[in-house]
Structure 1
Amino acid sequence: MNDAFQVHPIGWIRKTDRTVRIEIDPAFQDGLLGVEGFSHIIVCYWFHENDNPTDRGRLQVHPRKNPSNPLTGVFATHAPVRPNLLGLSACRVLSVTGTTIHIDSIDARNDTPVIDIKCYIPDKLDPSEIRLPDWV
């Protein structure tokens, strides 16, 4: 495999006991224009603490780290171990102040690098068309 891509953080997740926020690098502040108009955003981040050959090579896991769940391919899970360590979370926007987006929660650790942010626009999927495995 010869193809490689470079990605660079646009910001970082910052968590305390009481708050969760995304601190955006000031170079990207102009990209925040209009974010406050959305109730939710999709945050793309890098599982930086799993960046090693072993975790990148793992292709099957027990979902939610529960051994009673069936062994499942990583592409059918949200596991942080995978060939490319991308994570995605839908987050409620509480406020936007300067280069900081205050959110309700995120399934990422403190100091996790943020790769991209997208506004959340609901799909036109009919909920009756959605199928999920029993372990979800």
Structure 2
Amino acid sequence: MTYALVPVGAVRGGRAEVRDDDWDAERATIVLDAARFEEDAVAGLDAFSHLEVVYLFDRVDPDAVETGSRHPRGNADWPRVGIFAQRAKDRPNRLGVSRCVLERVEGLTLHVWGLDAVDGTPVLDIKPYMSEFGPRGDVRQPAWSRELMAGYWA
């Protein structure tokens, strides 16, 4: 089965090149498609502090997509784990999900910071973050993932 997705908008500004760390330094906008949406599509969104953004890793070559296992970021000091045990960009459907801070809404432009997507990235969906959708219970993750993430937002 195949599904066709049409972006709701695109990331504008922020980082132009793809690199892994220091995303909290990035401020950008998400500009919604004015041909498809009117301002009432974002009515009430400014009452939320954070967004969850679903986007396409459009710069990943489909031939580079990983379907098995590998060392995260190619680091042999970390265990070889399956693509679904990491958040790498070269995943089967090249989908990214990120939480970011919503600074303000101006018309169909959402001003955000900490969105780990580069300028021009197609945005597939936007949802307000609600704490009730956060983890329930204790969160468990391996030590290598904490090492990998140490500079991701810093």
Aligned-residue offset at 1:28? 2.2
**Pairing 1:125–2:136 present:** yes
Question: SS state of the match for residue 37, structure 2?
Answer: helix
Question: SS state of the match for residue 28, structure 1?
Answer: coil
CA displacement 1:87-122 (0-9 Å, x = unmatched): 000000000001110001211111000000011011
Letter in 2 for 1:10: V
**Pairing 1:4–2:7 present:** no
User: Residue 32 of structure 2 corresponds to which residue in structure 1?
Assistant: 24
Letter in 2 for 1:125: R
Q: Is the 8 A contact 1:45 1:112 kept in 2?
A: yes
RMSD: 1.8
User: Residue 47 of structure 1 corresponds to which residue in structure 2?
Assistant: 57
The structure-2 alpha-carbon separation of the partners of 1:61 and 1:28, relative to structure 1 and needing over 3 Å to count, comes to farther
Aligned-residue offset at 1:57? 4.3
The structure-2 alpha-carbon separation of the partners of 1:118 and 1:71, relative to structure 1 and needing over 3 Å to count, comes to same
CA displacement 1:19-53 (0-9 Å, x = unmatched): 3111111122332111101000100000111142x
Q: Is the 8 A contact 2:14 2:118 kept in 1?
A: no
User: Residue 104 of structure 2 corresponds to which residue in structure 1?
Assistant: 95
Q: Is the 8 A contact 1:12 1:111 kept in 2?
A: yes
Aligned-residue offset at 1:58? 3.8
Question: SS state of the match for residue 93, structure 1?
Answer: strand
Q: How many residue pairs were aligned? A: 131
Q: Is the 8 A contact 1:11 1:25 kept in 2?
A: yes
CA distance in 2, matches of 1:51, 1:8: 19
Q: Which of 58, 82, 99 in structure 1 is aligned with 2:91?
A: 82
Question: SS state of the match for residue 143, structure 2?
Answer: coil
Unaligned 5+ segments in structure 2 are 16-25, 146-154
Structure 2 length-normalised TM: 0.77
Unaligned 5+ segments in structure 1 are none
